[in-house]
C-alpha cells in the first residue's frame, strides 16, 4: 500500500478521492475478491468488505479505518487499521473458522480532511452528523467538489453493490497508531483507548484591500495579512494553557493575491482546536468568534465553524474487552484518551465502539517519517483479532 502515492521521501500523498486513493481501494478490492468476500459501497464512498457469518440475520462486527493520507503523510496512519482488520478476515479464512456474526472491514472516505473539509467526512455522513449533500458539495483548492472527485474515483473501480448509509452494526473496533508520544514514553505496547478528545475547526476569512506595497502608507492600508496576523496572535494567547493540554493549530493559511509587492487583499486560514474536556472546548471555541472580530479592523472578517465534535467516551464494556484481550495475550498496556480524532468517534454514537493503539516512533505522525515497529503492529493486530472474534461469536 505504501507504494501507492509514494512520494519518494518515505511517505505517501494519497489524498481522499484522488486517483491514488482509488488505486489503494482497487488493490484491497482485488485481495477481497480473491478471498471470495462480498463488497459494498455507500453513497459517500465508504467501502465494506464482508465475510459472511453462520447467522445471516445477525448484525455484523465492523472493524477498519481509512486509506487516504495527508499530503505529506506516513505509511501507517489509517492504512494500518484497514490492513489489520483485513488480516483478521484472512486469518479466520486460513483457519477455516466460521463465526456466528458476519465481520466487515470498513474503509472510511476522507478521514484526513486535508483535501476536502471536514475531517472524518465518511463516518460523519454515515452517522448522519453531516448531510450527504453538504459533504459532496465540499470543494478542494482547485474548486473540484467531493461529489465530482468521488464520481471520478468510482469510475476507476470495478462495479460494486451499493448499500445505504448508516446500516446497523453489532460493534465497531478500530486499530490505529497512537500518533502521539504517550505509549512510547511509558514503554507500553497497547493503548486501551477510553475515548477521543473534542475538536472544533473554523475557517476565518479576512478581507482587506489590495494596494501597492511601495506607495501605500501603513495608515492607509487595509492589509489582510496584518489583520490575520493579529488575529492569530490573539488566538494563540487565548489558547496558551500552562498545562499544555489545549491543542491549537493553524495548519492552512492562504494569502491572496500572493504577490511580493502587493498588499494582500484577502487571507483565509483554518483553526484546529482540541481539548479532552467538553466544557473547556466549548468555552474556548465560543471565544474564537469574538477574538477574530475584536482584531478585524480595518478589514472585514468572517468566521465559519466547520466542525464541532464533542469529546467522546467509548462504551466501558468495549474498553474492558480491549484491556482483557491485551492481558490474555500478555501484552503491556495503558489506558489513554486519543488526542487525534478518528472515525470511531462517530461510530460510538451508533454502536458499542472501541479502539486499539500501538506506539509510533517519537510520537511522529502526519509526517513522511512516521514509523511503527513490526512487532508492535503485530501485537495490535492480535488484540484486534481477539476482540473481533469474541464479538462475532456473540
CA 210 to chain centre: 37
Question: Which three three-digit cell numbers place residue 354?
Answer: 472501541
Interface residue with its own copies among 207, 262, 268, 280 (CB under 8 A) is: 262
The one among 367, 371, 373, 390 contacting its own copies by CB under 8 A: 367
259 binds its own copies (CB under 8 A): yes
Q: Of 368, 376, 382, 386, which one interacts with its own copies (CB under 8 A)? A: 368
Q: Contact with its own copies (CB under 8 A): which of 181, 186, 234, 329?
A: 181
Mask for 144-163, x = binds its own copies (CB under 8 A) = --------------------
Residue choice 252, 287, 327, 361 for contact with its own copies (CB under 8 A): 252
Whether the CB-CB separation of 43 and 154 falls below 8 Å is answered with no
Q: Which stretch binds its own copies (CB under 8 A): 203-211, 278-286, 297-305, 346-354?
A: 203-211
Taking CB under 8 A as the criterion, which residues in 308-327 touch its own copies?
none
SS3 content of the chain, % helix, strand, coil (to 5): 35, 25, 40
Contact between residue 99 and residue 389 where contact means Cβ atoms under 8 Å apart: yes
| Sign for the pseudo-dihedral over CA of 363, 249, 314, 117 | negative
Cα–Cα separations (whole angstroms), residue 72 to 26, 66, 303:
22, 16, 27
- Rounded CA-CA distance 342/88 in Å is 20
One residue of 164, 187, 260, 374 binding its own copies per CB under 8 A: 260
Q: Burial level of 238, CB count in 10 A (0-12/13-18/19+)?
A: middle
Binding letters toward its own copies, positions 68-107, x by CB under 8 A? --xxx-----------------------------------
- Sole binder of its own copies in the list 30, 158, 251, 279 (CB under 8 A): 251
Question: Mask of contacts with its own copies, 275-314, x by CB under 8 A?
Answer: ----------------------------------------
Per DSSP, 98 falls in state -
Amino acid at each position: 500500500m505504501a507504494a501507492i502515492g509514494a512520494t519518494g521521501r518515505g511517505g505517501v500523498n494519497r489524498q481522499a478521492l484522488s486517483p491514488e486513493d482509488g488505486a489503494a481501494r482497487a488493490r484491497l478490492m482485488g485481495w477481497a475478491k480473491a478471498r471470495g468476500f462480498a463488497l459494498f459501497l455507500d453513497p459517500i464512498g465508504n467501502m465494506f468488505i464482508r465475510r459472511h457469518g453462520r447467522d445471516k440475520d445477525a448484525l455484523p462486527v465492523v472493524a477498519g479505518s481509512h486509506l487516504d493520507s495527508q499530503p505529506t503523510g506516513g505509511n501507517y496512519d489509517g492504512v494500518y487499521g484497514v490492513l489489520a482488520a483485513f488480516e483478521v478476515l484472512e486469518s479466520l479464512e486460513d483457519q477455516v473458522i466460521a463465526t456466528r456474526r458476519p465481520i466487515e472491514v470498513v474503509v472510511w472516505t476522507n478521514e484526513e480532511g486535508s483535501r476536502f473539509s471536514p475531517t472524518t467526512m465518511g463516518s460523519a455522513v454515515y452517522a448522519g452528523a453531516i448531510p450527504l449533500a453538504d459533504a459532496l458539495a465540499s470543494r478542494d483548492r482547485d474548486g473540484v467538489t467531493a461529489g465530482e472527485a468521488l464520481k471520478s474515483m468510482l469510475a476507476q473501480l470495478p462495479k460494486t453493490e451499493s448499500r445505504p448509509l448508516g446500516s446497523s452494526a453489532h460493534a465497531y473496533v478500530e486499530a490505529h497508531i497512537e500518533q502521539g508520544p504517550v505509549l512510547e514514553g511509558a514503554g507500553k505496547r497497547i493503548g486501551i483507548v477510553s475515548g477521543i478528545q473534542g475538536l472544533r475547526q473554523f475557517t476565518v476569512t479576512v478581507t482587506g484591500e489590495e494596494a501597492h506595497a511601495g506607495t501605500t502608507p501603513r495608515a492607509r492600508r487595509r492589509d489582510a495579512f496584518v489583520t490575520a496576523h493579529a488575529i492569530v496572535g490573539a488566538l494563540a494567547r487565548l489558547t496558551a494553557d500552562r498545562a499544555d493540554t489545549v491543542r491549537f493549530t493553524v495548519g492552512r493559511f492562504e494569502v491572496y493575491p500572493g504577490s511580493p509587492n502587493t498588499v494582500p487583499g484577502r487571507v483565509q486560514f483554518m483553526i484546529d482546536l482540541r481539548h479532552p474536556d467538553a466544557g473547556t472546548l466549548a468555552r474556548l471555541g465560543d471565544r474564537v468568534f469574538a477574538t477574530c472580530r475584536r482584531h478585524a479592523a480595518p478589514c472585514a472578517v468572517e468566521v465559519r465553524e466547520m466542525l464541532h465534535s464533542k469529546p467522546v467516551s467509548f462504551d466501558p464494556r468495549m474498553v474492558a474487552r480491549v484491556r482483557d484481550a491485551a492481558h490474555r495475550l500478555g501484552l503491556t498496556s495503558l489506558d489513554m484518551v486519543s488526542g487525534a480524532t478518528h472515525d470511531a468517534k462517530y461510530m460510538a454514537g451508533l454502536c458499542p465502539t472501541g479502539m486499539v493503539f500501538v506506539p509510533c516512533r517519537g510520537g511522529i505522525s502526519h509526517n513522511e517519517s512516521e514509523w511503527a515497529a513490526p512487532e508492535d503492529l503485530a501485537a495490535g493486530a492480535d488484540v484486534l483479532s481477539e476482540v473481533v472474534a469474541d464479538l462475532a461469536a456473540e
